[in-house]
Copies of this chain bind each other. A is one copy, B any other.
Amino acid sequence: MSRTATTTIRVEWGDCDPAGIVYYPNFFHWCDVATWNFFAASGLPLIELQKRYGIVGFPLLEASATFRVPSRPQDLLTIATSLGTLRRKTLELRHAFWRDGAVAS
């Protein structure tokens, strides 16, 4: 299983709130996108996971995030997803967001 996968996101107008910055629940949507990408990059794309293991969605146990730099429409965000702790039944993924070289969330 690959250890890191990279996802690129462009912040869209509709992802932002009246303050003009990313409405933060969207960061969690992008974490989900990055999670599927991580499995695909590990040779386990969504369709394969469903066929082989009957997996429909990952039961999420915990999510946490720290927000540092606000992101605005048209910003390009890079998410580096890496494997954290791997236990018998659970798996921890870490998503690091970068915006033009700065840590975004």
Interface on A for B, CB 8 Å cutoff? 12-14, 16-21, 23-26, 28-29, 32-33, 36, 45-47, 56-57, 59-67, 70, 73-74
Contact = CB atoms under 8 A, between A and B. Distances in A.
Nearest to A57: B19
B65 A64 contact: yes
Contacts of A61: 66-67
Contact of A63 (B12, B33, B64): B64
Contact of A12 (B13, B33, B70, B74): B33
Contacts of A70: 59
A46 B74 CA distance: 8
Contacts of A63: 24, 63-65, 67
Given A14-B29, A63-B64, 10 more contacts: A13-B57, A17-B18, A17-B57, A18-B20, A24-B28, A24-B60, A25-B25, A28-B28, A36-B73, A61-B66
